Each structure stands twice: as C-alpha cells, then as structure tokens.
Structure 1
Amino acid sequence: MKCFVFLVLGLGSMLNLNGQMRLTLEESKAMALENNGNVKNSRLELDAAWETKKEAFTNYFPKISASAFGMKAMDPLLEIGMKGGDLPVYDGTPANLANPLQYAYMPDVNIGLFNQMALGIVNIQQPLYAGSKIKTGNRLAELNIEVKEMQRKLSENDIILKTEQQYWQVIVIQEKQKTVDSYLDFLDRLHNQVNNAYENGLTIRNDLLKVSIKQQELKVTKIQLENGKKLALMQLCQTIGLEYRPTLLLEGNLEELSLPDSYYIPTGDALPNRAEYQLLEKSVDATGLQKKMQNGNYLPTLGVGISGYYLDQLESGVDGTFNGLAFASLTIPISDWWGGNHKLKELRIRESMAKNNLEENKGLLRLQMEKAWVDLNEAYDKIQLTKSILEQTTENLRVNQDSYDNGLIQLSDLLEARALKAETEDKLIEAKNRYKLAVTDYLLLTAR
C-alpha cells in the first residue's frame, strides 16, 4: 500500500500543467522495483520461504490422523461351529440333576462373524525426540528465508543498475542533441558569412559547398540521435513498467558530480554487508545443517500417543464397541549406519568445500570492490582531462575564427577546429556518463 501511494503521488508530481510527464532517476528506480517481473518473483520466492518456515514449525505439534473403514464380505471372515446332540432338561427336582429323565435335541450350530462391519480410528502422536531433525529442519527453513532475502536484494540491485544505465543513456543522447544543435547554429552563421563573401567575390563557391555538406551531415546525425533517443526511451519505459510516451522528459543532470572521496568506504567495512558474501556464509551454514539433518536419520526416535477406535458389525440389535489405548514408540536404526557413515563423510567434505569457496570468493569480492574504486577515480580523472582538452579546443576554435575572419587561414581549418570541439564535447558527455555509472556500480558493490 505504501508503494502504491508513493507511485500515485510520484506520478502526479511528474505531470506538469501541459500534461507532459517528467521523470527523475529516483522515480524511475522506484517504478522499476515495483513493476519488474524478476523483482516480483524474488519477492514471491521470499513469501514462499516464509510459508515453508511456518510449515516446518508445525512439526513441533502432535500429529493427528483419522481413518474409517467399511466392508462386506462374500463369506464371513470368522466362522464358529458348535456340535449338536441330546441336551438334558432340568425338571425342577434337584435329585434328577445327576440322572436327568428328559432330553432335548440341539442341532449343529454354525455362527459367522465379521460378514460386514464399519471401523473408525483416531490416532494422536507427539514426537519427543527425533534426532534433532525437527529443530534442524526449522533452522534450515529460517536459513532459506535469509537466503531468499539476499537474493531479492541482488535482484533489486540488478534492476537498479539496469535502470540507471538506460536512464543516463537517454540523458546522454539529449546532451548530444544539444551539442549538434549548437554545431548547426555555428554552421548556419558561418554559411551566411561565407555566402556573403561569395556574393561579394571574396571566396569561391567550393567554400560554400563545404559548409553546406557539413550541415547536411549534421542533419543526418540529428535524425540518428532522435531515433536513438526514441529507442532508448522505449527501452527505459519497458524496464520501469511505464507506457511509452514520446513527450516524456527526464530530469537528469550530468553536471552534478561529486568527488570520488565522498563515496569511499574501506573494503573491510563493506564486505560483511555484501549480499554475495552473506550468501557464501549461508552456504557454509546450510552444509553444516544438512550434515546435522542427515546425522539425525541415524539416531533413535521417541514418541508417545493415544489411539481410539469404534467397531460396529452393522448387525441389527448389536451395539458397536469403543476402545482406546496409550502407547510409546522407540525406533533405533541399526543397519542404516553402514551406509550412513559414508554419507556423513561426504557432507563433511562438502562443508569443507563451502568454507574454501567462502575464503576464495572473499578475496575476489575485495578485489571487485577495489577495481570499482579504481574505475571510479579513473572515470573522474577522465572528466577532468577531457574538460582541459575542451578548453583548449574552445580556445583553438576562437583563434581559428579570428584568423579566418582576418583572411589568415582557409575555411577547412575553421571547420576542422569546430569539428574537433564537437568531438571533445561528445567525449566529455560520455565521460560524465561513465562516471555516473561508476558511482552507481561502486555503491552497489559496497552494499549501499
């Protein structure tokens, strides 16, 4: 709900009075995190892990089961036969008990039982000890939640970096469009100057053609930039989950650059906060818990419980019977240890491998952060160097303009000086973009 309110307010602030949408980098990242499919799936994975944890917790409680059974046999399951014959009849005189005077004939009797019946059973069993498997299973479920949380963070980092790359790519094209427009303004003024000189017989037609050709080349470049901006903007909109709008304005500014030192953090302080490092630690923990869980399979299990049943033979005039019992059960695995010992050794080996991976990748993660810091400083130095070159090319253009106005150099020299300045301006735009991305990369790699 908070994200929804934020997006509604954010979208409202993006629209100006003319209905034109403005978008900042922070708004773009927020929308990408809210709408990206991979990020959504990583959050659903986390929700699923929580449900798994809740399921594991239920193993602490008694297990209750109920079953019912009904049957009708073709022949009785139990038959009882009684031999018939003459049976003495008591006439009420005690003296005749030993030597009865009367007899009654009893034929043979066959009784069939369990020809049909219904049986209901309820069983309740509480585990008392299960080789620590219940406790270990719950810890594994908790560990799974921690792992999914870190994976969610990594997914968010990926989409943040992707969004920034695409956002600044649009800004770079916009800045290059400004450079081309400035270049075209220069050529328009130069074209008028050369045309006046040509009409007054002070220059040849070839000079006028050189300016016209350069104007046409820049117009082609301008069209290419417009198409490139459209595609870059469409890509950004797809990433952040926004419908493409040709009039969408990005409010990024390549001029706002902070010194690299303002972002620095020692690698030792940043390493424990890296999701990748934490995942390596959790991998070691997971192998230890798996070993403990496997060991629990070879330990005794103890439980207590109660059972009750109701039996009805479905005979007319015969009531059903109910009975119950309490019990305790103890299971001791014996032959499982023959193969289980090797399985435990395998898990110990895998635990050692996980520890080795942790130590190996710890160094690689440190190296990765150090390289990101070097790249950040290098990108900043490139900006300063390119700025210095731009000052020189600007001064060179001014000198060439004065020299051309005084008839000291040819038109081609002036055009070359202006092209050199435009090329340096483009390099400066690219250098600023690389620095922006280097800042983002360094902050992500230092868990910020």
Structure 2
Amino acid sequence: MKKQIFLFLLLVSSGYVSAQSLFTLDSCRNMAMRNNKQLQMAKERVVAAGYNKKAAVTNYLPSIDFTGVYLYNQKNISLLSEDQLLPVGSQDANGGFTLRPDQLLVGEDGKPVMVNGQYVPKDWAYIPKEAFEYDIRNTFVGAVSVTQPLFMGGKIRAYNQITQFAEKLAESQQNTAMKDLIFQVDETYWQVVSLVAKKKMAEKYVELLKNLNNDVQVMIQEGVATQSDGLSVAVKLNEAEVTLVKVDDGLSLSKMLLAQMCGLPIDLSYSLADENTGPQTIPSTGMVDMEQVYAHRSELHSLQFASKIYEKQQQIAASEMYPQIALTGSYLFSNPSSFKGFQNRFDGMFNVGVMVKVPLLHWGENIYKVKAAKAGTRIARLELAEAKEKIELQVNQAAFKVKEAARKMEMTEKNMAKAEENLRNAQLGFDEGVLTTTNVLEAQTAWLAAESERIDARIDMRLCEVYLSKALGTFENK
C-alpha cells in the first residue's frame, strides 16, 4: 500500500497523471534530453576534455618527484680478505715511505736482516679484517628531483592547443548528439500522431461499415437485398476490424518507443498536443545562405576542430626533430652514507644541472612521422570539404521534398473533399434505394483511401519540415 502511494505521489510530482498526460513536441524534446544516456555520455566527454586541458597546462610547470629505495643485502662489504700486518716506518723528505736504521730488524751479527733483497722492518701494525668491513645489510636510498622544461621544440604549446580543440570538439559532438536525439524524437512524435489519426480513421470506417451492415440486414429481412450483399458488407467489416487492431498495435508500440525516449513509463497512457491539428503552414524554402547553414551544422564544427588537431599533431611530430632542453635539480640522500667516512646514518647533497637532448640519427623516423601527420591533416581537410558538399545536397533535397509534400498535401485535401461528398451522395442514394451496397462500399473505400493519403500527406509535411530543419542545422533555434 505504501509503495502504491509513493508511486502515485511520484507520478503526480512528475506531471504524469491522466489529467496532465498531454505532451507537446517541446516537452517531449526536453524530457528526452534529460533522460538520454548517449547525451549524458557526451556531456561527460566534455567534462573529461576540460580536465585534459587543465592537465596539459601543467606541462609548463616544474615537476617534482620523490624516489625511494630500500634494499636488504645478504652480505656486508669488506675491503680486506683477511687480517693484515703493515710495517711501521717513517716518511722521507719526498713524502715517501722509508725505514730508519732503528726501525730495521737486526740480526745476531748486528746487521739489518734482508729477505729477497728487502730490509725487514722491526715493528708491524696489526689491522684486523673487521676494521675495513662496512654494514650495508639495510640500505636506504632516496632522491627528490625537480625538472623544469625550458625548450621542447614547441611540443608543450601544441599539446595545449590540441586539448583546447579537443574540448571544443567534445562540445560540438555533444551538440550533434542533441540534434540527432531531437530528430529521432520528432520522427517518433509525428509517427504517433499519424497512427492516432489513422486509428480514428479506422474506427470511423468500422462505424460506417457497421451502420451499413445494420441497414443491409434490415433490407435482407424486408427482401430488398440479398444474402450476397450482406456477406460483402460483413467481409469488409471484418477486414476493417482487423486493420483497426493492427493500427492500434502499431500505435501502442510507437507510444512505448516515444515514452522510452522521454524517460516515461512505457505503459503510461498519454496523448499528444498535435493529435487533432489540421493542415500546417508550409515552411519557407526560399534562397538559402549556405555559409549560415555551415555555421549552424555542428558536424562541420567537429570536422574543423579535428582538422586543427591534426595540424597540431603535425607540429608535435616536427618537435621531435628539435633539441630539448630542461633544467634539473635534485637532493640525493642515503643510509649508510659515505660523505664523512662510512657512517650508518642519513646524509645527502644537492645538485643542479641542465639536460640537453639533441636528435642525431634516427634513420628518417621523425621525417616519416611528420609526413604521416601532414597526410592526416590533408585527409581531415578533404573530409571537411566532402561534408560541405553533402550538406549542400541535403539542404537542396530537403527543400525539394518540402515543396513536393506541400503539393501532395494540397491535392489530398481536395481529393478528400470530393471523397466525402461522394460518400454522402452514395449513402443518400442507398437510403433512397437508388444505389446498391456495392456503390456504398466503393464510396467508403474511396473515402478510406483519400483520408489515409491526406493523413500521410500531413505527416509527410511535418516530417519534411523536420528534415529541412535538420539539414539547415536550426533545431536549437526552434
């Protein structure tokens, strides 16, 4: 019960209750734009492009990074393989090592002892192996570095311009998605209007046949009509009822589609404001300024921005052929440190420098990249020129279809007036006994065909206006 009350309040707040379920074309457009997932994704692409543009600006600024490493080593470093004995001597006048007479080992004969032609020192200094062993089992190394680009061959500026154009491209694509959505909503809207009119026509046709069937049955009972006449009318009535069911099914499906586009419950019962409208005013199809059309078509804007992006990509490819210069600085630290002897504590130092990268030999790779980028730019320009030609053709075709639809609508209105007059005369003649059921059935069939053609002509006129607006790119101005 609470769920039903909540659903009712939701429908009331949304304006979907039966008393308010009358939608205009503009309201359907607005609901569809709020609900459409593709349009929402296009908006998110614009947001993403904006963040990419902001990220590109940061390439002008210095980058600061921290790098840290911890190592556990299995063994320590030892400069000696075993304990050592060093002779104790003196320094001579030239700064060299020498042994004074009192520092020499004297034999029993009172003379210095010599081994292999070398005097043997009297005293030795003992150096244990552990004195030259360094603890590196736990090693920490770190660096804080700063890099400031000075000259990158124009790559940073070109990339920033690419992100700016990419944001505009995303906005243009969003506009295109919105126009495509409006076009689809308009088509479905007028399809529903057409089926509503055809349903009314089918219901009226069934009513005419039912009245005729009743009259024929009375005439059969009176003996002034045959069973064959009754069967002919009954067959026509059955066909009309089948047609009515088909039209009603098609209308239900079309309404479901429109409701889904607008974000409404697909089983919602609603009506459209244009269901009972008559012939519309014929839109003007005079001289068209193609430059204004080009300015309104978001597809061309997208291609123009794409062409500019290719041009900037060409500059990025060319930048690889120029030297790249950057200012660098860092603070390096480690534990153990060896700046003041080998110590198990953190210590470090600053350094600054300039990094220069000059391309010397890449076997033509960069030249090929530039040529490929130029080819991409030419392709984008050709696509833009081709799109303009197609748009001009679309405009001319849409204007021609509007004129044809206007002539068709005018002829069907006249034909419908004659068909209605013919039906009245046939019905009057049948009532007076002058005409047969065959004559009435023929008049009703002619009326059905004329009414169907008139409905199609009116909807074609609406759709042709939609096609013309799409070709002119004026959906957002309507």
2:290 matched residue in structure 1? 267
1:371 Cα deviation (Å)? Answer: 0.8
Residue 107 in 1 paired to residue 126 in 2? yes
Confirm or deny: 8 A CA contact 1:260 1:380 kept in the other structure: no
Q: How does 1:49-448 map to 2 (within 5 A)?
A: 49-77=49-77, 79=79, 84-86=86-88, 105-110=124-129, 111-113=132-134, 115-116=136-137, 117-245=139-267, 247-253=269-275, 254-255=277-278, 257-261=280-284, 265-313=288-336, 319-336=345-362, 338-448=364-474
Alpha-carbon displacement from aligned partner over 1:131-163 (angstroms, at most 9, x marks no partner): 111111111111111222222222222222222
Call closer, same or farther: CA 1:124–1:197 in 2, change over 3 Å.
Answer: same
Q: Which amino acid aligns with 1:277?
A: L
Confirm or deny: 8 A CA contact 1:298 1:337 kept in the other structure: no
**1:332, 1:120 → 2: CA distance?**
29
2:42 matched residue in structure 1? 42
**1:194, 1:288 → 2: CA distance?**
80
1:109 Cα deviation (Å)? Answer: 4.9
Call closer, same or farther: CA 1:197–1:75 in 2, change over 3 Å.
Answer: closer
**2:149, 2:369 → 1: CA distance?**
25
**1:320, 1:246 → 2: CA distance?**
74
Segments of 5+ residues of structure 2 without an aligned counterpart are: 1-9, 91-99, 105-121
**1:378, 1:11 → 2: CA distance?**
44
SS across alignment from 1:418 = helix
Confirm or deny: 8 A CA contact 1:87 1:106 kept in the other structure: no
Segments of 5+ residues of structure 1 without an aligned counterpart are: 1-7, 89-97
1:84 Cα deviation (Å)? Answer: 1.7
Deviates more, 1:104-113 or 1:170-179: 104-113
Confirm or deny: 8 A CA contact 2:89 2:103 kept in the other structure: no
Call closer, same or farther: CA 1:168–1:188 in 2, change over 3 Å.
Answer: same
Q: Which amino acid aligns with 2:174?
A: R
Confirm or deny: 8 A CA contact 2:193 2:274 kept in the other structure: yes
1:4 matched residue in structure 2? none
Alpha-carbon displacement from aligned partner over 1:68-104 (angstroms, at most 9, x marks no partner): 223344444472797523368xxxxxxxxx8879986
TM-score (norm 1): 0.86
1:281 Cα deviation (Å)? Answer: 1.7
1:5 matched residue in structure 2? none
Confirm or deny: 8 A CA contact 1:21 1:249 kept in the other structure: yes
Confirm or deny: 8 A CA contact 1:84 1:109 kept in the other structure: no
Alpha-carbon displacement from aligned partner over 1:237-277 (angstroms, at most 9, x marks no partner): 23333222252223333426222218985333111221221
Aligned residues: 431
**2:232, 2:362 → 1: CA distance?**
91
TM-score (norm 2): 0.81
Alpha-carbon displacement from aligned partner over 1:184-231 (angstroms, at most 9, x marks no partner): 332333334334433333333333333333222222222222222222
Confirm or deny: 8 A CA contact 2:39 2:177 kept in the other structure: yes
| Aligned-residue CA RMSD (Å) | 3.0
**2:135, 2:176 → 1: CA distance?**
66
Q: Which amino acid aligns with 1:379?
A: A
Which one has a bigger Cα radius of gyration? 2
1:404 Cα deviation (Å)? Answer: 2.9
**1:33, 1:78 → 2: CA distance?**
76
Call closer, same or farther: CA 1:268–1:71 in 2, change over 3 Å.
Answer: closer
2:93 matched residue in structure 1? none
Confirm or deny: 8 A CA contact 1:85 1:108 kept in the other structure: no
1:128 Cα deviation (Å)? Answer: 1.1
Q: Which amino acid aligns with 2:332?
A: Y
1:177 Cα deviation (Å)? Answer: 1.5
Deviates more, 1:196-205 or 1:368-377: 196-205
